DNA sequence: GATGTTATTGACAAAATGCCAATAAGGAAT
DNA sequence: ATTCCTTATTGGCATTTTGTCAATAACATC
């Protein structure tokens, strides 16, 4: 009886990095930050621990790269749904967001929604996603310089859609359309409350 | 020159545990989960590493106990603001919530708002806080068995107030009263949207 | 097929972890 | 005051994990 030993493969740095990020995407979706040693993680990824350190510097670096990757994916999904017209279709973009979370529920909930306790670098990444949505909402309402109250309310609304989407994805108890409309009309409520005309 | 060595103190388990939790409250408010070794943490707390292990089993255990402690504090603050009448004053309870976050901004943002990546036990604690607010909102609207859409919307609203409060505490750019009213009227908007009468 | 580049590894020193027998603080009894 | 006894607290040990780097071997090019 022989143990199946994967032989050494030599990839380009770009390919290897992409492969490892793909693995991190799945790994951190399922396992807590410190649930395994770097040795075990490297084994699961099919590489040596040295390689993980080479590419990401360590556990935290690997985690952060995975967070950044997921943030990129989330924004890209909305970008795609937005299209390249100059009018903003809030329903379409929200649907793009919901689509990404639906297809990547594990990593989204672990990393973007859940986040990592008081880590500045990770916060930068999750905030990138929020800022994208924030600016989209500003553009939709034709606001250039939001007031303090407007900023607070919009950031609150963004948390609303993050939590509600995580919740919806779990059960999908109402239709996707109905759900997206709930989020959109909540945004309109907030605009109305703040006396913002959106025509 | 002599190094000041704190001599060994023998406290009751209850006192020591409380003291260590107090320390954890401050520690995790400022430092990332894995930013220090257990040796360093124990030093800062003024005890041996062995004692930390004895009381909490390790880093994760210590962190989780701190989360639970903060969750208790958050709920207690709302409980206090609620009083013991049988009518629910949403503004008062929200103000109690805001008060706790204001006074404990560091740990709140690190632990309740921020949360820990995909850790079931920590989620149980943060969800305890959310469930308290959830049930409060249900009580306020006289709902016994929320529909799926109502549940999603209310969970979303709770994320709204969590994020908005964290944001408000940072800058306090609008008055506390104005801010609390923003959150309360957003709740009313949601009820209206869902055709829920709150009289 | 030989050669050069560099992606990848294994192994080593240092650090951190988890555990437990030994220690001593502080209350109770004399 | 002094002794005793309980058990909170510690120090140190075996083990695991980490971080680093010189050695190795894929793969492309000639």
Mean pLDDT of chain A: 93
Q: What angle do CA A51, A52, A53 make, to 5 degrees?
A: 90
Place of tokens 């850790």: B119
pTM: 0.93
pLDDT in tens, A152-198: 999 999 999 999 999 999 999 999 999 999 999 999 999 999 999 98
Return the number of CB contacts < 8 Å for A and B.
150
Cross-chain Cβ contact A159/B162 below 8 Å = yes
The gap between A10 CA and D24 C1' (Å) is: 13
In chain B, the percentage of residues whose pLDDT exceeds 90 is: 84
**Residue A151 corresponds to which tokens in the numbers above?**
């900023």
- In this predicted model, which residue has the larger pLDDT, A117 or A183? A183
Q: What angle do CA B77, B121, B14 make, to 5 degrees?
A: 60
pLDDT in tens, A19-29: 999 999 999 99
Residue A115: per-residue pLDDT: 58
Residue A4: per-residue pLDDT: 54
Residue A122: per-residue pLDDT: 87
Nucleotide lying nearest to B9, CA to C1' measure: C25
CB-CB contact of A146 with A92 (8 Å): no
The gap between B26 CA and D12 C1' (Å) is: 30
Cross-chain Cβ contact A119/B156 below 8 Å = no
pLDDT in tens, B126-146: 999 999 999 999 999 999 999
The beta-carbon neighbor of B153 closest among A119, A162, A164 is A164
The gap between A25 CA and C10 C1' (Å) is: 27
DSSP secondary structure of A54-123: HHHSSHHHHHHHHHHHHHHHHHHHHHHHH-S-SS--HHHHHHHHHHHHHHTHHHIIIIIIS--TT-HHHH
- Asked if residue A37 has pLDDT above 50, the reply is yes
Residue A85: per-residue pLDDT: 84
pLDDT in tens, B58-97: 999 999 999 999 999 999 999 999 998 889 999 999 999 9
Sign, CA torsion A194/A175/A113/A66: negative
Phi, psi of B55 (to 5 degrees): -85, -35
Q: What is the mean pLDDT of the segment spanning A135-142? A: 96
Place of tokens 């969800």: B127
Given pLDDT bands bounded at 50, 70 and 90, which one contains residue B7? confident
- Asked if residue A10 has pLDDT above 50, the reply is yes
Q: What angle do CA B115, A155, B100 make, to 5 degrees?
A: 55
Place of tokens 């292990």: B53
A58, A101, A187 from A192: Cα distances, Å: 48, 28, 9
Chain B: closest CA distance from residue A106 (Å): 9
Given pLDDT bands bounded at 50, 70 and 90, which one contains residue A7? confident
Residue B198: per-residue pLDDT: 87
Residue A114: per-residue pLDDT: 66
Residue A1: per-residue pLDDT: 41
Among the listed residues B37, B72, B73, B28, the one whose alpha carbon sits nearest the alpha carbon of residue B58: B37
**Residue B151 corresponds to which tokens in the numbers above?**
């549940």
CB-CB contact of B69 with B25 (8 Å): yes
Residue A2: per-residue pLDDT: 41
- Which residues 53-72 in chain B have a CB closer than 7 A to strand D? 54
Cross-chain Cβ contact A155/B168 below 8 Å = no
Rounded distance between C-alpha atoms, residue B141 and residue B135, angstroms = 10
DSSP secondary structure of B166-185: HHHHHH--S-HHHHHHHHHH
Given pLDDT bands bounded at 50, 70 and 90, which one contains residue A121? confident
Mean pLDDT of chain B: 93
Contacts 24+ apart (CB under 8 A), B166-169: B166/B101, B166/B105, B166/B108, B166/B109, B166/B113, B167/A151, B167/A152, B167/A155, B167/A156, B168/A152, B168/B98, B169/B98, B169/B101, B169/B102, B169/B105
Q: In degrees to the nearest 10, what's the CA dihedral of A78, A79, A82, A88?
A: 90
Mutate to test the interface with B, among A159, A172, A177, A186 (most CBs of B within 10 A): A159
CB proximity B8–strand D (7 Å threshold):
yes
Residue B114: per-residue pLDDT: 65
Rounded distance between C-alpha atoms, residue B33 and residue B48, angstroms = 19
Sign, CA torsion B6/B10/B19/A115: positive
Rounded distance between C-alpha atoms, residue B64 and residue B90, angstroms = 30
């Amino acid at each position: 009886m022989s143990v199946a030993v994967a032989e050494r493969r030599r990839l380009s740095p770009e390919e290897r990095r992409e492969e490892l990020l793909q693995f991190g995407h799945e790994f951190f979706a399922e396992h807590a930050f410190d649930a395994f040693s770097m040795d075990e993680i490297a084994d699961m990824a099919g590489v040596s621990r040295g390689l993980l350190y080479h590419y990401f510097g360590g556990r935290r670096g690997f985690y952060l790269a995975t967070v950044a990757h997921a943030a990129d994916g989330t924004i890209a999904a909305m970008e795609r749904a937005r299209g390249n017209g100059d009018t903003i279709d809030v329903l379409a973009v929200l649907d793009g967001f919901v689509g990404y979370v639906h297809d990547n529920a594990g990593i989204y909930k672990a990393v973007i929604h859940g986040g990592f306790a008081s880590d500045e670098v990770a916060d930068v990444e999750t905030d990138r996603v929020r800022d994208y949505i924030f600016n989209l909402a500003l553009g939709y309402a034709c606001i250039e310089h939001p007031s303090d109250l407007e900023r607070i309310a919009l950031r609150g609304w963004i948390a609303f859609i993050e939590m509600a989407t995580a919740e919806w994805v779990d059960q999908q108890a109402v239709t996707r359309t109905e759900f997206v409309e709930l989020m959109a009309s909540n945004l309109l409520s907030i605009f109305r409350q703040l006396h913002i005309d959106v025509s």
